[in-house]
Amino acid sequence: MKYRRIVAAVAFVTVGHLIVLALWINLFLPGSPPGTEGFQVMFLVCLYGSVLGIAMIVAGRSPRAERRIERRIERDGLEGWATIRAATPLGKPTGDAQITALELDLTVPGSESYSGRVVYEVRRSDLPRFAPGEILTVFVDPEDRSHIMLMP
């Protein structure tokens, strides 16, 4: 999901750091006082780590539009429940989680039941709770019923 953005951020910061390193080697290292090279290298390594960490944090955030939808659903969403019809793993597990496509039968009080599909990152410890036949609490956007937030 956000892995491509994180990889792109790591690549961007690494290329930028290589450019800074090349500039340092060609412009600043020859004129630096003797004995300070080690400190300068440590500064560059710490700078790389700090910028890389910040870039990964920013890249790992949800897009602004997605966060806006999530806030609206949390604020105005209609609470209901969903019965899992099918849970299909997508790809290989990554770390402690498995990206899973959930086929759901959604029920929101005051409206007709309908079907939906959600792609969700399920932790391995939570896999039994996402088995077919299990019931989950959901919040549905009243303006667009295709926007669903799971509350496992």
- pLDDT the model gives residue 152: 65
pLDDT of 49-76, one tens digit each? 999 999 999 888 777 777 777 777 777 8
pLDDT of 84-102, one tens digit each? 999 888 878 777 888 889 9
String of b and e for 21-47 (b: at least 16 CB within 10 Å)? eeeeeeeeeeeeeeeeeeeeeeeeeee
Q: Judge whether residue 125 has pLDDT over 90.
A: no
Identify which of 56, 44, 43 has the alpha carbon closest to the alpha carbon of residue 19.
Answer: 44
